[in-house]
Chains A and B, each alone.
Chain A
Amino acid sequence: MPTPRPESWLYPTERGLFCAPGQFHIDPHLPVERAVITHGHGDHARSGHGAVLATHETIEIMKVRYGADCAAEFQAANGAQSINGVTVKLVPAGHILGSAQIVLDWQGSRAVVSGDYKRSPDPTCAPFELVPCDLFITEATFGLPVFRHEPAEKEARRLLASLEANPERTHLLGAYNLGKCQRMIALTREAGYDRPIYLHGGLRNLCDLYVRLGVDLGDLRNVMDSEPAELKGALVLCPPSALSDRWSRRLADPLTCYASGWMRVKGRARQHGVELPLVVSDHCDWPELLTTIEETGAAEIWVTHGREDALVHQIGLMGRRGRALALVGFEDEGD
């Protein structure tokens, strides 16, 4: 029996990527009966599905974000399983806690839906596992050759050096509330920073969840419960949207820091009024994207949200078939 062409059994619909023989969607952006979810970020995990298959950690994250009843039924992935004849297995993607690639085997053909992923080490989640496949579906958040992330440990050391050099200034670090925030905390802890770290209210719940799931984040306190004097020279984390909000006015001469892959480009950092940009990302940079595509051995690569044009062009240069998988509803929220 010849193996079927991938687009005959896996394709985008108006609700999201659909596996036809398995009768389930992957990261659907509208409610569906059966969903397989790669990770907990808002553009991948949504509420209102019937049955949800995801890692234990992703399910916990969804419950914190959307409530315990955000899906009718949850199933925590545990090894390979068959759904209507399609073998489904979740393997680590290295993006954030609980993030997984979805490996699909059907009639001798293997597709890997990687979700968001990265190859560089991260103390808060399991590392990316490479799965050879016929079709690899990759993100392209940083799909331009100008994006090369710095080693995250080095950026954490720069942050600590600045804290030491400016002991009178509160370091206000903007970091996405799921993943980046906890990674930055863990990185500073690894680098030896043992003073309390202060949190904006919007970061508390997910930090607590990480701790519950076994990620050590050290002494975390709420900005809201702290005396202004205590915050002088301290490290404060907040969501990026709060960096230039009225909220920051209570802090002593804040030094604005932002941890994101976008900080590689000066214009982006200046746009946010950032004084100390830290080039740390939970997504692949350009070289990592190319390496991964190469290593999967896939002849066919589909490219989801991000800068598809450039990556699809590059895949062509690499002698593979690249296609932009225009999935409606995927927003440019990752950083």
Chain B
Amino acid sequence: MQAFAELLDRLVYTTARNAKLKLLEDYFKQVPDPDRGWALAALTDGLPLRLSIRKTLATILEPHVDPLLYRLSRDYVGDTAETVSLLWPDARANAPPPSISDVVAEVSSASSREFPRVLERLLDRLDVKGRFALLKLLSGALRVGVSARLAKTAIAQAFGRAVEEIEEVWHAVTPPYGDMFAWLEGRGERPDPGRKATFRPVMLAHPIEEGDWQGLAPEDIAAEWKWDGIRVQLSARPGDVRLFSRAGDDISGAFPDIVQAFAHTEGVLDGELLVLRDRAVAPFNDLQQRLNRKGVTGKMLQDYPAHIRLYDILFDAQEDVRELSYLERRARLEAWYERFLPSLADVSALVPFAAFSELEEKWRQARENGIEGLMLKRKDSPYLAGRPKGHWYKWKRAALTLDCVLMYAQRGSGKRSSYYSDYTFGVWKTPDELVPVGKAYSGFTDEELLRLDRWIRTNTVERFGPVRQVAPGLVLEIAFDAVQPSTRHKSGVALRFPRVHRIRWDKPAREAETLAAVQALIPS
């Protein structure tokens, strides 16, 4: 537990990705089984423990802390687990600190009646960092800035593997992953995904750049529309259908309609998850209503009907077809679809073209809902995990741009901590009132950042901690993919993927965009 507590404490204060990876790698290499496995579970899918810790905390804390003092402390600290870890008396028990395995064993064997007592005894055996780690473990969400993917990347790097190899076996193993660590350390067989529906690492595309066109011949390339949904993988075995995000997160729980529609199928398919109404793709915002949820209501299923537009196949029933060429897989996909005919699904059509000029014409006209641009895929490419160069290209339609006014600037983190590098910008609601429409962190050079930083420091009108409000005097030309309605912003709109396109040092703020003009860009 101490090593894990130290790890969490360090992660809380570490912002750089590589520094986090280093901390994680060292941990996984140094800590023995099964503790490191439980730690990995906590960092990825969560420990397999189901308890109402919130209520229990209140009960066990009562004898130690006056309720008013607790409330004042909680308000100040802002996090319940941290507050309790700070308030709990030190060194009450003479027993050595528990290992994570002790925690898992004691907590999972406790009845809900015994649980408060068990938790008390565990807290008594830990110091402040240990108590924080314990409560974070039990609350299910660590919130230390480590995604499941980053944890898997650390495991891969620690044992000299590619992260795709970890993802490949991930759904075949369960916490504390003893068999996976045995394989990674050369002490055991590779865990076999076997009969379960598992995730296979996906193949990603590169944005097409000017220089890429020279190496491409139209006859070698297939084109598809690039749909504006989220990339998913559907993995089906008899009796087990799962839907995964492209990072390998299991999102089946939020999409029982899709799971049901594929219940009779077998295979691993690649496609785009969309909300479809009357066969038309709904705005991305509609799909968002169904994402990031554990479950889903009947009304949501009805209001936001999900659909998968399939474009590739990795396993045809049980046969691994990833080595086949794109064209062969395409034929397999069409045949597979004809065989099973799953509802709530179709096959993404190919976009026919003879010359790139013809394709460019289609790309230019692609402004309708749900289309983000074109995908170009080599007809002879196998299905390769990761982002291999020279196989798949995404050709996003040209971004939209808006002239916005810089309103607030915030100091960045890590290398940028002495620069104001995060910008909130707005548009004119009335001739006198600006309302924020988004935030951008990228799209400028280091020299531009220096100049922006200087401008912000000399035009500050107010300071709120790390944030400065600036006088409305600098226009940023913001590039973005779409406008969508938002309840989070005061303006009622939000931009998707905003980035700074150009800094308009020359343009008067008065001439920036109006809110009405931005609202007009919301797809109906």
Contact = CB atoms under 8 A, between A and B. Distances in A.
Contacts of B69: 144-145, 310, 313-314
A313 B73 contact: no
A246 B417 contact: no
Nearest to B70: A145
A172 B417 CA distance: 13
Interface of A: 144-146, 148, 244-249, 256, 264-267, 269-271, 273-277, 307, 309-310, 313-314, 317
Interface residues of B, number: 27
Nearest to A313: B68
Contact of A275 (B14, B78, B90, B466): B14
A245 B77 contact: no
B13 A310 contact: no
A145 to B, nearest CB: 5
A248 B417 CA distance: 10
B79 interface: yes
Contacts of A307: 72, 76
* Interface core residue of A256, A267, A277, A317 (most chain B CB under 10 Å): A267
Contact of A146 (B14, B86, B417, B465): B86
Contacts of B149: none
Contacts, number: 68
A273 B65 contact: no
Contacts of B517: none
Interface string B116-131: 0000000000001000
For the complex of A and B, 10 pairs with smallest distance between CB atoms: A146-B86, A273-B417, A146-B73, A310-B72, A244-B417, A275-B13, A144-B73, A244-B418, A145-B69, A265-B77
Contacts of B465: 271
A269 B13 CA distance: 8
10 contacts: A145-B65, A145-B86, A146-B86, A148-B90, A246-B453, A266-B12, A267-B77, A275-B14, A310-B69, A310-B73
B355 to A, nearest CB: 52
A140 to B, nearest CB: 12
Given A144-B69, A144-B73, A273 B413 contact: yes
Given A271-B466, A273-B411, A310-B69, A266 B82 contact: yes
Interface in B78-100: 78-79, 82-83, 86-87, 90
B66 interface: yes
A146 B77 contact: yes
Given A144-B72, A145-B87, A256-B417, A267 B79 contact: yes
A146 B87 contact: yes
Nearest to A309: B72
Contacts of B72: 144, 307, 309-310
A145 B128 CA distance: 13
Contacts of B417: 244, 256, 273
Contacts of B79: 266-267
Interface in B33-92: 65-66, 68-69, 72-73, 76-79, 82-83, 86-87, 90
A288 to B, nearest CB: 14
B146 to A, nearest CB: 15
Contacts of B15: 273
Contacts of A249: 418
B213 to A, nearest CB: 40
A126 to B, nearest CB: 28
A266 B465 CA distance: 16
A144 B86 CA distance: 10
A287 to B, nearest CB: 10
Contacts of B68: 310, 313
A144 B466 CA distance: 25
B13 A276 contact: yes
Nearest to B411: A244
Nearest to A245: B418
A268 to B, nearest CB: 9
Contacts of B411: 244, 273
Contacts of A277: 13
Contact of B76 (A246, A265, A274): A265
Contact of A314 (B66, B413, B418, B466): B66
Contacts of B12: 266, 270
Contacts of A317: 66
Interface string B459-486: 0000001100000000000000000000
Nearest to A310: B72
Contacts of B65: 145
A276 B15 CA distance: 12
Contacts of B76: 144, 146, 265, 307
Given A275-B13, A275-B14, A277-B13, A265 B466 contact: no
Contacts of A309: 72
Contacts of B66: 313-314, 317
Contacts of A244: 411, 417-418, 466
A246 B73 contact: no
B123 to A, nearest CB: 15
Contacts of A269: 13
A276 B68 CA distance: 31
Nearest to B14: A275
A303 to B, nearest CB: 14
Contacts of B418: 244-249
Given A244-B418, A269-B13, A307-B72, A146 B78 contact: no
Interface string B430-445: 0000000000000000
B86 A148 contact: yes
A34 B71 CA distance: 42
Nearest to A144: B73
B92 to A, nearest CB: 14
Contacts of B413: 273
B3 to A, nearest CB: 16
Contacts of A245: 418
Given A145-B86, A270-B13, 8 more contacts: A265-B82, A266-B12, A267-B78, A270-B12, A273-B15, A273-B417, A275-B14, A313-B69
